[in-house]
Amino acid sequence: MKILWYLLVITITFLIIWIDLPENLPVRFQIRSLKVNQTINPLTIDLFNHSIKKEFRTKLGLDLKGGSHLVFDADTAKIKPEDLQDALNSTRDIIEKRVNLFGVSEPVVQTVKSGSQYRITVDLPGLQDVSEAVGLIGQTASLTFKESGTMSAKVATQYAQFKDYFELTKDTGLVGKHIKKATVDFNSQNGQPQVALSFNEEGKKLFGEITTTNVGKKVGIFIDQFLISAPVVQQPITDGNAVISGNFTLETAKQLAIAINSGALPVSVKLVEQRNVGPSLGETEIQKSVTAGMVGLFLVMLFMVIYYGRLGVIACLALVIYGLISFAIFRAIPVVLTLPGVAGFILSIGMAVDSNILIFERIKEEQRKGKEFEIAVRLGFGRAIDAIKDANITTLLVAFILFNPLNWEFLPQFGMVRGFALTLAIGVATSLFTGVVITKRLIRVFYKQKLNDK
């Protein structure tokens, strides 16, 4: 059992180090006749012919990588209050899909309320010439229904996995303006989520004709030429009310309803601000941040070693482990690192030492009372854990408020603040683990003989 535990620890350690490797790291050495000249990269998982692909790379935000920051005013005057949030979410999702067409890495698209005005901010890291992107983003969403058209046998064979897209090419005339609303509903027989559609008078007539001529066939629903659903018509529907059923979860049904509403409830946007950020600024700030982090880390380690001696060395080792785990989590999620995000990580480095200081002081306090070392270690950890949990939970609560995952209007909604909160939260949670679990294990390893003697 102990061997399996050691193997698991070694495997996890190897994976963390592999994930944390710098990109394009040269490995060159020669031992007698053995010569190695390779370039290694962080871990990449690529399975089942790219069906599952995950790259563990550092994602840099706009302020570090350079690119463009766009702000659009959203015209919500014609949107009903009850449909406003769905319309904004739909517009945001469509803009993100459009931005992805330009190959932008990790675009950040979010809605922000400024007074009574709603805005959509778009960060495009690495993209300097955004004139074409601005033109495409500014278009109102286009929702269309299409039925089967002609498709050559060559296309059908060559693009079999995209058959629906190439087959459903004939416009029906039914568009977003003909839909009153798409909502999530539940099947009365099996309770499964489904999407309910209601059409206006013109849409009711068109949809009746389409379903009458396409019984047993698929009708495609497209947004900006993206196929979002291709349900099969079961029977003619002439009353203007239809449902799309299938293997939906509640979340996927909501997503489809929002996507359809984006064409039924168009929100026009107007560019009001464009700011380009040069990559040279990012490179400079990265170097300064790395320097600041290294200096801070060195000073913290120096203090711990001078003040606590052997225990300080253990704290330094735990701090290195903390850094490796945190960085691996950043790459695994992945976290888009911005300057505030880097600041949150550097701040959490100092906080990571707090747990060790509390534990060590408790151990010393117990030793001053004449307790044996093993008992002092056990009591020190036991009595420090409450203070450590309280301090970390308080910080995590603040990070939650700053991140504002529920988008409350009275709390911050800006990406930079959220980046700081996210890296701080990850750092604090990781420091709680390393400070209590890792440090305790390291003390038992380094003081094994002393503990056995007692």
Euclidean distance between CA atoms 163 and 95, whole angstroms: 26
Please state whether beta strands 220-223 and 193-199 pair in parallel, antiparallel, or not at all (unpaired): unpaired
> Residues 306, 173: one domain?
no
> Residues 308, 243: one domain?
no
> Residues 287, 435: one domain?
yes
| Domain final residue pick, 275, 301, 332 | 275
Integer angstrom CA distances of residue 383 from 82, 177, 310 = 52, 65, 21
Nearest to 431 by CA among 306, 267, 300: 300
> Residues 259, 283: one domain?
no
Euclidean distance between CA atoms 121 and 419, whole angstroms: 15
Q: Which residues contact 18 (CB under 8 A, 6 or more apart)?
A: 42, 43
Residue 155: the pLDDT is 47
CB 273 within 8 Å of CB 71: yes
CB 299 within 8 Å of CB 124: no
- What's the CATH number where 312 sits? 1.20.1640.10
Residue 228: the pLDDT is 83
Q: What is the pLDDT of residues 112-148, one digit of tens each?
A: 887 778 888 888 877 766 776 676 676 666 788 998 8
Residue 429: the pLDDT is 92
Euclidean distance between CA atoms 240 and 180, whole angstroms: 10
Integer angstrom CA distances of residue 210 from 150, 165, 232 = 17, 18, 12
> Residues 149, 18: one domain?
no
> Residues 297, 193: one domain?
no
Euclidean distance between CA atoms 267 and 87, whole angstroms: 7
Integer angstrom CA distances of residue 409 from 61, 111, 118, 208, 285 = 24, 11, 11, 43, 31
- What's the CATH number where 222 sits? 3.30.1360.200
Q: Which residues on adjacent β-strands are paired with residue 113?
A: 118
Integer angstrom CA distances of residue 3 from 8, 15, 92, 451, 452 = 9, 18, 51, 22, 21
Q: Residue 20 is part of which domain span?
A: 2-57
> Residues 399, 299: one domain?
yes
339-368 and 439-446 helices cross at what angle (nearest 10)? 50
Cis peptide before 236 (omega within 30 of 0): no
Q: Which amino acid type is present at position 140?
A: T
> Residues 51, 71: one domain?
no
Nearest to 403 by CA among 417, 388, 382: 417
Enter the tokens of residue 211. 């379903």
> Residues 381, 293: one domain?
yes
Enter the tokens of residue 85. 């949030």
Residue 129: the pLDDT is 66
Q: Which residues contact 321 (CB under 8 A, 6 or more apart)?
A: 434, 438
Enter the tokens of residue 378. 């056990």
| Domain final residue pick, 215, 248, 275 | 275
Cis peptide before 405 (omega within 30 of 0): no
CB 143 within 8 Å of CB 136: no
> Residues 100, 243: one domain?
no
Enter the tokens of residue 162. 């995209």
* Counted domains in the chain: 4
> Residues 307, 449: one domain?
yes
Nearest to 432 by CA among 376, 398, 390, 401: 390
Residue 326: the pLDDT is 92
| Domain final residue pick, 21, 36, 57 | 57
Integer angstrom CA distances of residue 322 from 292, 318, 438 = 18, 6, 9
> Residues 65, 45: one domain?
no
All residue ranges of the chain with pLDDT < 70 are 1, 48-51, 100-106, 128-129, 132-133, 135-136, 138-141, 150-166, 262-266, 279-283, 285, 407, 409-410, 412-415, 448-454
